A and B are shown apart, each in its own frame.
Chain A
C-alpha cells in the first residue's frame, strides 16, 4: 500500500515552460487535493476534486489547471510557469472530512 505518491520529486523550469505534476493514490479515495506550501503561509489549496471527472477551484487557482480522468490520479498542470510558482506542491486524498493523507511533495523551482 503506497498511499499517496507524487511524480516528480524535484523539477526546475524556465519561465514560460509548461509541466504536469502527477498524483496517484491507491486507497480508493473520492476526494483529492493540490496544495502549495510557501514559507510562513502554511498550505494553500489550489484545486480539488470530489470524484472522478470533477474538479473545482481552491484558494489560489490562477495559473494552474487540473484533471481527474481516473479516480486514482489527479494531475496538476502549469501551462506557462512563472517565478511566483516556485514552491513545494503537495497532493492529498481523503474519503471523509475526518482526515487527509498527504504525498511526499514536489519541489518546483521556476527560473
Chain B
C-alpha cells in the first residue's frame, strides 16, 4: 500500500518569491508520482508527473519537481510565483504495476500569494 504526506497544509508567500511545497511518500513497490493543482471552485488539473528517467521533472506554469528515491520525496518548486498560482496543490502516487491505475492523494497544500 502507498501513502502520501504533504507536510504543510498552508504556505503563504509573497509574489515573485520562490516556493517549495513538500511531499513525501511511502511505498513498498515502484511508483509513479504526480502533482495536481486545483484552482478555486474547479476540478484537478495535472501539473507534472514522474514516470521514469530524469529525476527533475518540469511541468506547466513554470513548476518543477525532483524525485528523490533515497528520501522518498517529490517536492514541488517554482522560482518566482504569481498571484495566479494561488490554488491548492496535491501530491499523489500510484503503483506502477497496478492495472487499476488507482492514485493515492495527499491532503493538499494551500498556496496563498501575497502582493
Contact = CB atoms under 8 A, between A and B. Distances in A.
Interface in A68-111: 90, 92, 94, 96-105
Contacts, number: 56
A97 B43 contact: no
Contacts of B46: 99, 101
Nearest to A54: B100
Interface residues of A, number: 27
Interface residues of B, number: 26
A33 B94 CA distance: 14
B71 interface: no
A31 B105 contact: no
A20 B94 CA distance: 28
Nearest to A101: B46
A7 to B, nearest CB: 14
